[in-house]
Structure 1
Amino acid sequence: MAGFFHKFEPHGRGGPRIQDVPLRMLIPNLITVLAICAGLSGIRLAFEHRFEVAVAMVLVAAFLDGIDGRIARRLKAQSKFGAQMDSLADIVNFGVAPALVLYAYLLDRAGSFGWIAALLFVIAAALRLARFNVLDEDTDRPAWQADYFVGVPAPAGAVLVLLPIYLGFIGLPLTVSTAFAGSLFTVVIGLLLVSRLPVYSGKTAGKRIPRDQVLPLILGVVLYVLLLSAYTWQTLTASAILYLLLLPLSFRAYARRARSVEQQAAVATDPSVSD
């Protein structure tokens, strides 16, 4: 008699069949499930007015959802099942959870405008994630462009959109005017998600570190963690503002690199161009 559950096929019907599934294949999926649980728990806590714990749960969900793919690659445990599950979890952890927590904390004071802003952010996050999946499959894209995201990445958007809450925790008054300003800010972050703004990804920056930078890097990371633990909301506020201020620099770096690549291509095609 057939079992009550279908057999787990991590690669689908078209992939290699595995008689006994290695435990390492399940670890990334477990992390994804835990991320979903954290995000949904954050929503519940927000509607119970336990906002600090709610924000912490949303940030934990974003962190877990951001590392599950990397862990899968490290363990060589990538699977079609995991990729589909991760995509479904992203919309919850990077879109729905932060938007609803922000709405429960502040945006509901703006009435329908606040709800519209929250909805627009969730839709923008979904569109951003869909576009990421499409671009990830684009083999014709120049290799150097892989160093840049198209638009603000969804994990960063989830952290940025909570900036009004960080400010509220450090003393920003929660008024109707603040709610409308927060709603406008939410819409702006949503637009940054779906924009074509090139944002430096840093994927290739940390593979090799010069010896003389190892100790300063360690001290810098330790200092940031200590600040985050002692002055959590102030540190997150400063980090979010700094990220937003660095976006124009990322655009300028992309434009310079694009011009350099175009000039090199022109010289390769017509050597007289360099004269």
Structure 2
Amino acid sequence: MIGYYNYSVILTYIGLASAVYGMVQAMSYNPRVAILCLMVCGLCDAFDGAIARTCKRTEDEKSFGMQIDSLCDLICFGVFPAIIGYGLGIRSIGGYLCMFFYILATVIRLGYFNVQEMNRVQQEGEAKRKYYTGLPVTNVSLLIPCFILLDIFTKRSFIRLYNIALLLIGMAFLSKIKVRKLYLHGLIVVACLSSIVFFLIFRYGGNIICLPVSTTPV
């Protein structure tokens, strides 16, 4: 079989499996499980790089890992959140346009990052990156669950603004804002926060109400 097989990509593949299962649950009107699966995707992505660095790899294997990571990110953090929106009942023309823009922004963001990363490695070698330009796509694995929590606890139907949230996040992907890259201590803090959000979604996510398709606003 073609490809490169070692444990360096195992978390990436687990995240992909979680996204696929989550999309099935979203289409089956089970948003709580879908959101939890999105958070699992984020957890896998947060630590897959650390695991990959413990594996001795050839240059081809490193390049393969980068491509696989980017392709899986497109599914996990690009297509998957849009599918969640569809499962929540976003079926208007405006909603579809927001979903399309969001996925397109993800594609552009990932493609741009890959080019910049290759150039950076050529110029700086294996030096650690300090900042990202634009919001990293993996951040949606925490942003969207927090957005859903607003709907659960305020009961103000924030779900109706889900398509607008995708639009704004997509714009953040393409922006020139500087976002500091997190390493071990930062990742631990984010993991603790994510654990709290995960528990709240697990405990109270049954209160997420999918919008009736016939009344979904533009």
State the Cα distance separating 1:46 from its structure 2 match: 0.8
Gaps of 5+ in 1: 1-5, 11-24, 208-217, 235-275
Does residue 159 of the first structure (1) align with residue 142 of the second (2)?
A: yes
Count of equivalent residues: 197
Identical counterparts, % of pairs? 23
Aligned CA distance change for structure 1 residues 102 and 222 (closer, same or farther; 3 Å) = closer
| 1:184 aligns to 2:164 (yes or no) | yes
Q: Report the TM-score, using the length of structure 1 for normalisation.
A: 0.61
Q: CA RMSD in A?
A: 3.3
Q: Distance in 2 between matches of 1:150 and 1:222?
A: 22
Equivalent-residue separation in structure 2 for 1:225 and 1:157 (angstroms): 12
Question: Partner residue of 2:76?
Answer: 93
Taking structure 1 as reference, are residues 225 and 42 closer, same or farther at Cα in structure 2, changes over 3 Å only? closer
**Structure 2 Cα separation of the partners of residues 9 and 55 of structure 1:** 31
Matched, 1:64 2:44: yes
Question: Which runs of 4 or more aligned residues in structure 1 lie more than 6 Å from their structure 2 counterparts after TM superposition?
Answer: 140-145, 220-223
Q: 1:206 and 1:83 mapped to 2: Cα distance? A: 23
Counterpart residue identity of residue 60, structure 1? V
1:136 aligns with 2:117: yes
Letter in structure 2 aligned against 1:54: A
Q: 1:84 to 1:222 in 2, by over 3 A?
A: closer
Q: Does 1:124 align with 2:129?
A: no
| Structure whose CA Rg is larger | 1
TM-score by length of 2: 0.75
Secondary structure of residue in 1 paired with 2:170: helix
Q: Counterpart amino acid of 1:147? A: K
Q: Once the two structures are superposed, what CA deviation does each residue of 1:200-255 show, in whole Å capped at 9, x if it has no partner?
A: 1134x849xxxxxxxxxx9x789747744653489xxxxxxxxxxxxxxxxxxxxx
Aligned AA for 1:120?
Answer: F
Matched, 1:112 2:93: yes
Structure 2 CA distance for aligned equivalents of residues 182 and 100 of structure 1: 12
- 2:31, 2:141 → 1: CA distance? 16
Q: Conserved in 2, the CA contact under 8 Å of 1:36 and 1:92?
A: yes
Q: 2-side partners of 1:189 and 1:224: how far apart?
A: 20
Aligned to 1:231: 200
Q: Which amino acid aligns with 2:174?
A: V
Code of the residue aligned with 1:82 in structure 2: it is G
CA contact (8 A) 1:105 1:165 kept: no
CA offset digits 1:147-174 (Å, max 9, x no partner): 1110011101343245442322334344
Query: Post-superposition shift, 1:28?
Result: 2.6
1:190 deviation in Å?
0.4
Q: AA paired with 1:124?
A: A
1:172 matched to 2:152? The reply is no
User: Which residue of structure 1 lines up, in the alignment, with residue 209 of structure 2?
Assistant: none
Q: Which letter maps to 2:65?
A: G
Amino acid at match of 1:187: L
**In the alignment, is the contact (CA less than 8 A) between 2:36 and 2:201 conserved in 1?**
no
- Give, in angstroms, the shift of residue 127 of structure 1: 0.9
- Give the gaps of 5 or more residues in structure 2: 204-218
